[in-house]
A and B are shown apart, each in its own frame.
Chain A
Amino acid sequence: MPDDGTAVEVSAEAAEGALAYLTEMSPDLRGAAILGPRGEVLAAADRFSRWEEDAATLFAVADRAGEEAVEQVHIGTEQGEVFALRHAGLAAVAVTERFALASLTFFDMRSVLRDLAGATPQATSDGSEHVRSTQRRGGEAADAS
């Protein structure tokens, strides 16, 4: 379901950190999910299976609407707005209030996915794994508070 970019493996912890960052950055956000290379939900507020199913449906319908795979989807209805983005083998779907700033929302979603894709888990000397970008985000959040 995500784009044809290089498949990346992202840990659930890193995805949850990214989702928390996205939620913090976007005051209009009602809910969001981050999806892995196979369309599986890596992070969402709740109801993982519904996010997975409905995001897959949205991307499938959007792909059918044109001649090629879609990269970004922006749909506005009276009930809210839906943003979906594929980047580097990952995907993010977000639901916002009406009249959210589309360019900023897409920018935040893209930067989160770029961070996740670039932050493949690295083995440390003690054998555990850590993710650079999540730590950086955590540091920024600590600085902000």
Chain B
Amino acid sequence: MPPKPHRVLLERVSGYADEAAAYMRRRRASRKPFARLYYAEGRAEDHASDSSASGELFVAAGRLIEVAGKRERS
């Protein structure tokens, strides 16, 4: 027996909503700021975005980004 037409529509809408939610989750994760420091012997340290050290690092990085300015697109 074929499904009722409104069920098809509902499933399609909820499918799109799931896709959008997954996209927003991925986007949030990829946009999260990060600070990674690497040392001479190959050791690396990740600083959480809410730690005090990373706060200072983000401020310093922000100043450099400001100096560099926007890229001129050709």
Residues of chain A having any CB pair with chain B under 8 Å = 3, 28-32, 45, 47, 50-51, 54-55, 57-58, 61-62, 64-66, 68-80, 82, 93, 95, 97, 99
Contact of A82 among B38, B61, B69, B70 (CB under 8 A): B61
Say yes or no: A62 contacts B37, CB within 8 Å: yes
17 A-B contacts (beta carbon < 8 Å): A3-B40, A29-B71, A31-B68, A50-B67, A54-B60, A54-B64, A55-B64, A64-B56, A65-B54, A65-B56, A68-B40, A69-B40, A73-B37, A75-B36, A77-B62, A79-B62, A93-B64
Q: Which residues of B contact A51 (CB under 8 A)?
A: 64, 67
| Complex CA distance for A77 and B65, rounded to whole angstroms | 9
Say yes or no: B57 contacts A62, CB within 8 Å: yes
- Number of A-B pairs, beta carbon distance below 8 Å: 101
Q: Which residues of B contact A71 (CB under 8 A)?
A: 38-40
| Complex CA distance for A51 and B63, rounded to whole angstroms | 9
> Residue B53 at the A interface, CB < 8 A?
yes
Q: Which residues of A contact B70 (CB under 8 A)?
A: 30
Say yes or no: B64 contacts A82, CB within 8 Å: yes
Contact of B56 among A55, A61, A78 (CB under 8 A): A61
Instruction: Tell me, rounded to whole Å, the shortest Cβ–Cβ distance linking B48 to chain A.
Output: 12
Residue ID in chain B nearest A70 by CB atoms:
B37
| Complex CA distance for A76 and B58, rounded to whole angstroms | 8
Say yes or no: B60 contacts A61, CB within 8 Å: yes
Q: Which residues of A contact B15 (CB under 8 A)?
A: none
Given known A58-B57, A61-B57, A75-B34, contact A66–B67 (CB-CB < 8 A): no
Interface centre among B45, B57, B64 (most CB of A within 10 A): B64
Instruction: Tell me, rounded to whole Å, the shortest Cβ–Cβ distance linking B52 to chain A.
Output: 9
Say yes or no: A77 contacts B37, CB within 8 Å: no
